[in-house]
Amino acid sequence: MLSEKELIRYKHPIAVPGMGVNLQEKLKSARILVIGAGGLGSPVIQYLSAAGAGVIGIADYGVILEEDLHRQPLYQMQDLRKHKAKMAASRLFALNPWNKHYPFLLQIRPDNVEQVISGFDIVIDCSQHRSTHLVVNDACVLLGKPFVTGEVHNWIAWWGGFNMGPDAATYRCNELMIDDFRNFDAGAMGATHGATALLMVNEIIKYLAGVPGLAGKLHTFNYLHQKFVVTDLSVNAAGIAEVKARGLLSADGYGLELVPDVED
């Protein structure tokens, strides 16, 4: 239940038609894990926290670098070389003390992913890293967790809602289609990361409210030409069955380069 102070805090979103107190309470009860607190992840967690998501896990083993601040305005100059996950949790508590923000200073990998995601209702992978997407996808399939992920490459962004229901479309089912929206040329725009994060959060809030639009859909946006396309995801039943039968691969099987554990 929302407290009197929370009802005051969220009075404007509560007043939006179709939202109301019930949705705000759903947000408060949500347990959301965000993997990656960088250019895409930091605005995702900012707006989830501001919206009232009750529990937000933040998994990131990296540190804050000055050349990344143009797309990570959650952080400040005095935060340089500090751990992103810890600083994000601190900043979010200052933004919204009614929520719980838990930092995980670790790399998501096959030997820890199931333990990390097991306590959350929905997993959002903002690592923008294919091998990590595959690790998290397979773990979400095995544990029945809804999975949202996306990337931003130069002017092109994509994000989708995977594994949202029994035998629903997974990231692995749609890799070939997603590859068409990848561009690995150098460079990263801050505004495109922020805009994509806000669109993702909006769809996640709608999903929690039971509004169609995220589950089973791939959203792509060409910011240079203002071209927005939504495509139905496909289901590969044989591929899903294979993941369920074999379980997780090794780090080498995912092409995942392991990094040393973070020294706090």
**Helix intervals (H) in the chain:** 4-9, 11-14, 20-29, 41-51, 84-95, 113-117, 130-143, 175-179, 190-208, 237-246, 251-254
- The SS3 of residue 96 is coil
- Tokens 């100059």 belong to residue: 77
Asked if residue 101 is part of any domain, the answer here is: yes
d(CA 106, CA 25): 30
| Within-domain flag for 140 | yes
> Which domain range does residue 231 map to?
4-246
Residue 259 lies in a domain: no
Which amino acid, 126? C
- Torsional class of 119: left (φ above 0), alpha (ψ -120 to 50), beta (otherwise): alpha
Rg, the chain, Cα only: 18
- Predicted local confidence at residue 264, as pLDDT: 62
Query: What's the pLDDT at 33?
Result: 98
The answer to whether residue 8 is domain-embedded is: yes
Number of domains observed in the structure of the chain: 1
Whether residue 66 is contained in a domain is answered as yes
Asked if the structure places residue 169 within a domain, the reply is: yes
Residue in the block written with tokens 């797309």: 71
What are the residues facing 222 on neighbouring strands? 156, 227
Nearest-angstrom CA–CA distance, 226 and 235: 29
| Helix/strand/coil for 146 | coil
Q: Is residue 262 part of a domain?
A: no
- What Å distances lie between residue 250 and 109, 112, 253, CA to CA? 9, 11, 5
Judge whether 82 lies within some domain: yes
pLDDT tens per residue, the chain (264 residues)?
Answer: 899 999 999 999 999 998 999 999 999 999 999 999 999 999 999 999 999 999 999 999 999 999 999 999 999 999 999 999 999 999 999 999 999 999 999 999 999 999 999 999 999 999 999 999 999 999 999 999 999 999 999 999 999 999 999 889 999 999 999 998 887 777 899 999 999 999 999 999 999 999 999 999 999 999 999 999 999 999 999 999 999 999 999 999 999 999 998 776
CA distance 151 to 124: 11
Measuring CA to CA, how many Å separate 47 from each of 37, 40, 50, 125, 236? Answer: 13, 11, 5, 15, 33
Give the domain CATH number at 18.
3.40.50.720
pTM of the model: 0.97
Instruction: Report whether 20 contacts 14 (CB < 8 A).
Output: yes
